[in-house]
Structure 1
Amino acid sequence: MPRRKIIPYNPALKELARKLRNNATKAERVLWHSLSGKQCFGYDFHRQKPIGNYIVDFFCQELMLAIEVDGVSHNQESVQIKDRQKEEFLNSIGIDVLRFQDSDIYPENRDALRAIEEYVIEFEKINKIDTPPTPSQEGTINFSAKSSNHIKK
């Protein structure tokens, strides 16, 4: 695998990121339960990760993947503009973004997990990485047959 890229970081955001981790939304807690402890194909995700002048909800450096969970406040035009600017910045430094609504995650989490797994499978195919099956591939997590198209290239 190629050498890990250095991710720009604003140390002034460290305390805010800690507060956001301690005050996670229900949807963020539900998704974190599925991503923590390298449960997703063995990849290490971090939550409320400062990158540049932004904080992403979840980040995996090996995948160069940020995951954003949007609540109702993201329906406001001013917030959507900031979200686009954030996503453009992340894309400019090589980070893909998967964006979900709270309803994609809570209460059942299936659509979000399916989209994340599809992203990882595609990433590994492109980068010729072979990993053992995750619990969801072995059938211990029951996903719906519905597939989400959240992957942005």
Structure 2
Amino acid sequence: MKLDSQLLEFAKIMRTNATDAEHLMWQLLRAKRFMNLKFRRQHVIAPYIVDFYCHEIGLVIELDGSQHGTDDGKEYDAERTKFLEALDFSVVRYWNYDVLSRAEVVLEDLWWRCSELKQTSP
């Protein structure tokens, strides 16, 4: 399937304009620094762009700011998660605040989730 060029261009712009939390998380995940897993950032899974994606274990990581706490944000996130899970992806969400102020807690949770997925992936 050919990916929408506008979606790919938008993903590229999003990589350039990363939030502080996304930037920090990318520094922790990039170049197989975390559990020797390859992560991509602002990865297109049409019609969405996910914050981080690991193909090897089918994991999507979403970092959420305050807009995700609104009713509309929660509804959108639930639809998006349902769509991604229907494609057999595991979706994990972390608040930007937690990534920035409690990165060790986020990474510990992520380590457990990745370990579980590594055991169940082919």
- The normalised TM-score by structure 2 is 0.92
- How many Å separate the matches in 1 of 2:115 and 2:2? 27
Superposition deviation, residue 92 in structure 1: 0.2
Identical aligned residues as a percent = 30
Superposition deviation, residue 40 in structure 1: 1.4
Superposition deviation, residue 102 in structure 1: 1.0
Count residues with an aligned counterpart. Answer: 122
Q: In the alignment, is the contact (CA less than 8 A) between 1:37 and 1:44 conserved in 2?
A: yes
Residue aligning to 1:75: 69
Structure 1: segments with no counterpart, 5+ residues: 1-6, 129-153
Residue aligning to 2:41: 47
What is the RMSD of the two structures over their aligned residues, measured on CA atoms?
1.7
Superposition deviation, residue 11 in structure 1: 3.8
- How many Å separate the matches in 2 of 1:90 and 1:103? 24
Superposition deviation, residue 10 in structure 1: 4.0
1:34 maps to amino acid = L
Higher helix share: 2
Higher strand share: 2
Superposition deviation, residue 127 in structure 1: 4.1
2:98 maps to amino acid = D
Q: In the alignment, is the contact (CA less than 8 A) between 1:45 and 1:59 conserved in 2?
A: yes
Structure 2: segments with no counterpart, 5+ residues: none
- Give the 5 Å matches for 1:4-153: 9-127=3-121
- Deviations, residues 30-56 of structure 1 (Å, cap 9, x unaligned): 111100000111111000011020010
- How many Å separate the matches in 2 of 1:71 and 1:81? 15
- How many Å separate the matches in 1 of 2:113 and 2:53? 13
- How many Å separate the matches in 2 of 1:123 and 1:8? 28
- How many Å separate the matches in 2 of 1:8 and 1:67? 24
Superposition deviation, residue 125 in structure 1: 2.7
- How many Å separate the matches in 1 of 2:82 and 2:102? 29
2:109 maps to amino acid = A
Provide closer, same or farther for how the CA distance between residues 60 and 127 of structure 1 changes in structure 2, counting only shifts above 3 A: closer
